[in-house]
Amino acid sequence: MISKKEKLAIDAIATILDRSLSAAPKRKLSSSQVLVIKDIGDLKIFFLNKSSYTIGRNPDNDIQFFSKGVSRHHAILYRQQSSFWIVDGSKTGVPSTNGLTINYQACRTERLKNGDIVNFCSDAYAIFFESDSSPELSSDGEFRRAESFLASQVENRERDFLASSNFLQIIPDLILRIDQNSVILNVKESKERVFSGYGQEIVGKSISACFPMTVAQKLLSSIGAARSSNKKQVFDCEIAENNSRSFCEIQIIPDQDGVCFAIFKNMHSRKSIENKLLHDALHDDLTGLPNRNFFIKRVELSIQRRSNDKEFGFAVLFVDLDRFKVINDSLGHLVGDEFIVHVANRLKDCLRPGDVIARFGGDEFAILINRIDHIDEATLITRRLQVALTKPLTLGGHELIPSASIGVVYSSERYASVNDMLRDADLAMYQAKSAGRSRFEVFDQEMHQKAMNFLVLDSELRQALRRQEFKLFYQPIVSLKNQKLVGFEALIRWFNPNRGMVAPADFIPLAEETELIVALGEWALEEGCRQLSTWHKLAEFDSKLTLNINLSSKQFSSASLTQYIAELLDKYSLCSKSLKLEITESIIMENSQFSIDIFHRLRELGVQICIDDFGTGYSSLSYLHRFPIDALKIDRSFVLAMDESSQNTGFAIAQSVVGLAHNLGVKVVAEGIENARHLVWLRSFQCDYGQGYFFAKPLNAEQATALIKGELGWSYTQKAYCQLQK
């Protein structure tokens, strides 16, 4: 049998010869049939022009071998019509000692076909090539040049291939050489039926043009990962073959200058399929890491071990990537997948051999750190993971900084089940995320208590919706030019029999984590629209009064939002311009792809959109300009930060936001105007509208109605302002 290394060299030669024989019109060859022989490390090429050849170790043979395993007169090659046949033994009919194998099958006589491998013994073999075209010999000199060119090509390529040790680890079936633009440079065809569609005709084509989309996507993302990590990537996929599908393993091996090899292995044997299925049941498709099932089994073992040996300590880490959704939505799933593979590799590289890292799906990973004596060891490893993660990563031309929020839980007698440990690690991770991401938290009992309180609150909130315990309050929004009321912002309040009045900050974040916010948000929209239509019907007041309603992220990304609002406007006969929706910057960023679409649909409806709490998120005005917005609300923290000193940063921020927004044709509302000084300053910056305790706190519906009717003056503020003007 030939070795893997040799097999690979043969494959390399096949590719080169194939190309040289069928392409390159300048290099005309004297024969369209060639025998390449490998003999104790020596490589020779014979262009088969004669009608017969003898092959053997004796010097009187046409083709002489030196290997001891080759018989003195081992075989005969003869031409019949245009084909070559090989026959075992001498001209006198004496069979060879070791016999012949063709493509690893013993044989006595065989018509040779392109690519056939003929073995004479373990270290001597030949490979037969023929091309369809029959180039002609034009001159002897040209023939020699062609021959030496071919020989040098073969030898160079063989050296290249032998040097690529990664590549040599595999016995390949179908091999593609792919350039930096994902175009196929060479094909080493495979005899497997499943790869029959991938012959030389795919050379020069792009990956996406040759493979079905699902396979092409996986290929491209692994090629990207292989290139940037310079590491072999392995994944599985199914390739369709007529009406059936074949299970293939694909390896991507990076070469130089962005070139990669893709090696397709058909997992045809039953055993490999069984192994594959078993492997798949316990591993993640994209990263090849163990999956949740595998992880659970390993943690179970650790728990068991600890119950027998109290000295045995271990930790479970729950890792959740920060802002992965933004990457996925803005750069596409292909880059998203590549990102996950990179992160998985980085995490894996930080761990010791006995530790286990698993992908739980999406952007979630879990890590089991075994054999530690103290929680500090786990936190040390966690820090190391976070440092390794946050190195910049360039994907699809974008520089990304991965980061993760990690929850850590340490083994203790309390944990008899994996689920409990995972639950607490998840909770700790969640704490890390809400404390600002890219950090870790170690689980403690207090966290557990908080989580329990959370649960109670959740069930109370659900009850509250049924019992109609919510109310909208309305905070006036005033034109800073003439102090006139232009509208209100609707702010939700919860009146609970036991808790009293609960502010939104104490329940909105929880409702946002559950689907509850959608129902709550719909209620607020309906109640707000109903109230606004009542006000519009008040004869004393003109119907320009507007109402701002806050939208949460889940509501904003709900597909039915526009439809729901259109129905409400219709139901309450409201002019769409009188409704303004407030969303925060982070909502746009989290849904950037999707947002533009929704913005346009809401715009078509005529509804206005304001960016709430502007300046506290991480977007920029230039970015926001891509979205059709009507107003910005300067976050109250900037307004409150304005004080007497003119060097104050709040002052500078408020002023520049107004200037920039006006340049972009967007109105500005200042939140949190608490005193007359704020008002004077904001007016001097030409800020359009204001809202804050200086004018009025959020009022209940009756108070707001009285204010509209002029029954409840805000004379106290007016007076203060007039005094200031004097």
Which residue ranges make up the site for Mg ion (CB under 5 A)? Answer: 550, 582, 612-613, 671
Q: How far is the CB of 665 from ligand C2E (least distance, A)?
A: 23
Residue found by looking up tokens 């299970």 in the block: 247
d(CA 652, CA 638): 9
d(CA 668, CA 477): 12
Q: How far is the CB of 467 from ligand C2E (least distance, A)?
A: 18
- Smaller CB separation from ligand C2E, 87 or 588: 588
Binding residue for ligand C2E (CB under 6 A) from 698, 699, 705, 707? 698
Q: How far is the CB of 571 from ligand C2E (least distance, A)?
A: 19
According to the binding rule CB under 6 A, does residue 290 interact with ligand C2E?
A: no
Question: By rule CB under 6 A, what count of residues binds ligand C2E?
Answer: 24
Judge residue 134's burial from the number of C-beta atoms within 10 Å of its C-beta, 0-12 exposed, 13-18 middle, 19 or more buried: exposed
39 binds, among ligand C2E, Mg ion, none (CB under 5 to 8 A by kind): none
What character string, x for contact with ligand C2E (CB under 6 A) and - otherwise, covers 572-601? ----------x-------------------
Q: How far is the CB of 614 from Mg ion (least distance, A)?
A: 8
- Which neighbouring-strand residues pair with 472? 492
- Smaller CB separation from ligand C2E, 251 or 552: 552
Q: How far is the CB of 263 from ligand C2E (least distance, A)?
A: 52
d(CA 20, CA 373): 64
Q: How far is the CB of 447 from ligand C2E (least distance, A)?
A: 24
According to the binding rule CB under 6 A, does residue 690 interact with ligand C2E?
A: no
Count CB-CB contacts under 10 A for residue 353: 4
* Contacting ligand C2E within 597-626 (CB under 6 A): 612-613
Tokens, residue 388: 């390794």
Q: How far is the CB of 717 from ligand C2E (least distance, A)?
A: 11
d(CA 441, CA 434): 11
463: DSSP letter: H
d(CA 185, CA 193): 22
According to the binding rule CB under 6 A, does residue 220 interact with ligand C2E?
A: no
According to the binding rule CB under 6 A, does residue 402 interact with ligand C2E?
A: no
Q: How far is the CB of 507 from ligand C2E (least distance, A)?
A: 9
Where do the DSSP E strands lie in 635-691? 667-670, 689-690
- Smaller CB separation from Mg ion, 186 or 550: 550
- Smaller CB separation from Mg ion, 320 or 671: 671
- Smaller CB separation from ligand C2E, 407 or 698: 698
How many Cα atoms within 13 Å fall on the side-chain side of residue 260?
30
Name the residue whose CB lies closest to ligand C2E: 692
> Of 693, 708, 718, 714, which is closest to residue 487 (Cα–Cα)?
708
Binding residue for ligand C2E (CB under 6 A) from 78, 149, 312, 693? 693
698 binds, among Mg ion, ligand C2E, none (CB under 5 to 8 A by kind): ligand C2E
- Smaller CB separation from ligand C2E, 207 or 668: 668
Q: How far is the CB of 633 from ligand C2E (least distance, A)?
A: 7
What character string, x for contact with ligand C2E (CB under 6 A) and - otherwise, covers 499-538? ----xxx--x------------x--x--------------
284 binds, among Mg ion, ligand C2E, none (CB under 5 to 8 A by kind): none
Where do the DSSP E strands lie in 13-58? 33-39, 42-47, 52-56
According to the binding rule CB under 6 A, does residue 721 interact with ligand C2E?
A: no
597, 632 Cβ separation under 8 angstroms: no
635 φψ region: left (φ > 0), alpha (ψ -120 to 50), beta (else): beta
Binding residue for ligand C2E (CB under 6 A) from 569, 692, 699, 704? 692
User: Going edge to edge, which strands form the sheet with 364-369?
Assistant: 356-361, 364-369, 315-321, 404-410, 440-442
d(CA 34, CA 21): 9
DSSP 422-441: HHHHHHHHHHHHHTTSS-EE
- Which neighbouring-strand residues pair with 491? 473
- Smaller CB separation from Mg ion, 189 or 671: 671
355 φψ region: left (φ > 0), alpha (ψ -120 to 50), beta (else): beta
How many helices and strands (H and E) does the chain possess?
24, 32
505 binds, among ligand C2E, Mg ion, none (CB under 5 to 8 A by kind): ligand C2E
- Smaller CB separation from Mg ion, 582 or 688: 582
Q: How far is the CB of 671 from Mg ion (least distance, A)?
A: 5
407, 317 Cβ separation under 8 angstroms: yes
Q: Indicate the pairing of strand 485-496 with strand 546-550.
A: parallel
Q: How far is the CB of 492 from Mg ion (least distance, A)?
A: 11
- Which neighbouring-strand residues pair with 451? none
DSSP 94-161: PPPSS-EEETTEEESEEE--TT-EEEEETTEEEEEEE-SS------HHHHHHHHHHHHHHHHHHHHHH
475, 698 Cβ separation under 8 angstroms: yes
d(CA 660, CA 41): 74
What character string, x for contact with ligand C2E (CB under 6 A) and - otherwise, covers 452-491? -----------------------x---------------x
**Helices of type H across 435-552:** 445-466, 508-513, 516-537
Host H or E run for residue 490: strand 485-496
Binding residue for ligand C2E (CB under 6 A) from 672, 701, 704, 717? 672
What character string, x for contact with ligand C2E (CB under 6 A) and - otherwise, covers 138-177? ----------------------------------------
Q: How far is the CB of 528 from Mg ion (least distance, A)?
A: 12
Q: How far is the CB of 635 from Mg ion (least distance, A)?
A: 6
* Contacting ligand C2E within 188-217 (CB under 6 A): none
Residues 6 or more apart whose Cβ sits within 8 Å of residue 539: none
Question: Interacting stretch for ligand C2E, rule CB under 6 A, among 64-72, 157-165, 289-297, 668-676?
Answer: 668-676
According to the binding rule CB under 6 A, does residue 67 interact with ligand C2E?
A: no
574 binds, among ligand C2E, Mg ion, none (CB under 5 to 8 A by kind): none
Q: How far is the CB of 164 from Mg ion (least distance, A)?
A: 59
- Smaller CB separation from Mg ion, 115 or 521: 521
According to the binding rule CB under 6 A, does residue 539 interact with ligand C2E?
A: no
- Smaller CB separation from ligand C2E, 57 or 554: 554
According to the binding rule CB under 6 A, does residue 554 interact with ligand C2E?
A: no
Residue found by looking up tokens 């089991």 in the block: 368
Binding site for ligand C2E (CB under 6 A): 475, 491-492, 503-505, 508, 521, 524, 550-552, 582, 612-613, 636, 671-674, 691-693, 698
